[in-house]
Amino acid sequence: MLKKISILSVASAILLLSGCASKPSALMINEQSKTPQAIIKIANGAGTPSWSHNESKAFRNVLEAAAITTLQKGYKYFAIIKPDEISNTKGSLRNTAKELIAKCDPNSALFLSIPGAEGLHKCGTYGTHAYMKIAMYNKEQVNFTVINAQDVIDYLKKEDLYDDNGVDIKSKK
């Protein structure tokens, strides 16, 4: 009996720590409009007992998936529409991967968020899940900042944060 419990415990730990990664998904919406949009979802954070590590990885993965989707759809730039706290169309001036990751790191200014816990889940992340709604462009925009998709990928690769999971892109029917 003890042997069965030990084997089950080890198998559970491996499953938990492996992260049960799934490929990020992008649902194309308003695909025929002048500014195509996509909703990016991910459910493959780190899969560790540390919520902050999970959310940090989930955010990096959703940012990577947004950049990949933009490039695969033939665009150069994207703007974040949702979540609001990092929305370029609502005034956020963050337009590099470094700035976005710093803003969305669940460990940044954590002491400020403990009383109401409102800062524990930032930038569309919750545990190993994250979402982002983006609009894609071929040119930089005049009224708001955009993010260069290739620069995001280059930064993630340079910092050894690139996962290369690909993206499952679907069109809204």
Digit-coded pLDDT (tens) for 106-159: 876 544 444 444 456 789 988 888 999 999 999 999 999 999 999 999 999 999
45 phi, psi to nearest 5 deg: -65, -165
| Rounded-to-integer distance, Cα 20 and Cα 43, Å | 9
Give me the residues paired with residue 79 across strands.
135
Q: Which helix (H) or strand (E) holds 29?
A: strand 25-29
18 phi, psi to nearest 5 deg: -75, -25
pLDDT at 21: 53
| Rounded-to-integer distance, Cα 130 and Cα 164, Å | 17
Both tokens assigned to 170: 């679907």
Residue spans of the domains in the chain: they are 20-171
More confident residue, 50 or 82: 82
pLDDT at 120: 63
Let me know: does 95 contact 67? Beta carbons within 8 Å: no
User: Residue 135, class by beta-carbon neighbours within 10 Å (0-12 exposed, 13-18 middle, 19+ buried)?
Assistant: buried
| Beta-carbon contacts of residue 72 (< 8 Å; ≥ 6 apart) | 167, 169
Please, which pLDDT band fits residue 6 given cuts at 50, 70 and 90?
very low
Please, which pLDDT band fits residue 4 given cuts at 50, 70 and 90?
very low
**Residue 18 pLDDT greater than 50, yes or no:** no
pLDDT in tens, 30-69: 777 788 999 999 887 667 777 777 888 889 999 999 999 9
Q: What is the DSSP letter of 25?
A: E
Other Cβ atoms closer than 10 A to 18:
11
Give the residue from 126, 37, 46 showing the smallest Cα distance to 88.
Answer: 37
Q: What is the mean pLDDT of the chain?
A: 81
pLDDT at 112: 44
